[in-house]
Amino acid sequence: MSILPIHTYGQPSLRKKAKPVRAVDDDLVKFVQDMFETMHNAHGIGLAANQVGTLRRVIVIDVSDMGEEYKDEKPLVLLNPQVIQSEGEWTMEEGCLSIPDIRDDVTRAETIRVQFKDLDFKDQEIRADGLLARVILHEIDHLDGVLFIDHLGAVKRKLLTGRLNKIRKGEVEIEYPFVAEGIETPASRE
């Protein structure tokens, strides 16, 4: 498996809409394995293909280390996810591997139902609430070119401009490989 460099704020792939997956092949399975390896290496709980520079509607999620109530949650691979129902709303602080060191409160649906295809390319549906719903919604946003900071008010976004410009230029200290404006730290192979 490989650890892929994560694209940080300012990289074009983060603002583009990902294309639907049409079939599962060995390359896609390996890509999903690499996404999990990359996400775990960066201590993340969700990762969208856009974040590693690939415009395919693929997300991986693993919230099993997020406390007792999630310890039995199996890692998820969602191909072509689509929210078909949402209820309630709640606000919680979010962060993003592509926008390191910035966190802020974001309001999202509390409970969702999502249709997707699994790695066997079979139709699936999941009902999620709380943290799992939030992570799924955050990652689906990525597939649509939306970042969590887009959910913040104009004043908050304006206040983040300086920090975002530093991230864009690669002026960040993070422990995982990344791609920024004119910078690509080396990916690793295991």
Over residues 131-154, the pLDDT tens digits come to 999 999 999 999 999 999 999 999
Question: What is the rounded end-to-end Cα distance, in angstroms, of the chain?
Answer: 6
Maximum C-alpha span of the chain: 46
| 139 among known catalytic residues | yes
pLDDT digits (tens, 9 = 90+) for 2-56: 999 999 999 999 999 999 999 999 999 999 999 999 999 999 999 999 999 999 9
Q: Confidence class of residue 190 from pLDDT cuts 50, 70 and 90? A: very low
**Which residue, 77, 82, 83, 41, is CA-closest to 62?**
77
The topology (CATH level 3) of 2-185 is Peptide Deformylase (3.90.45)
Candidates 68, 139, 175, 181; catalytic one: 139
Domain boundaries, the chain: 2-185
With a threshold of 0.85, does the pTM exceed it? yes
H or E segment and range at residue 38: helix 26-41
Instruction: State the Cα angle at 185 between 180 and 190, rounded to 5°.
Output: 135
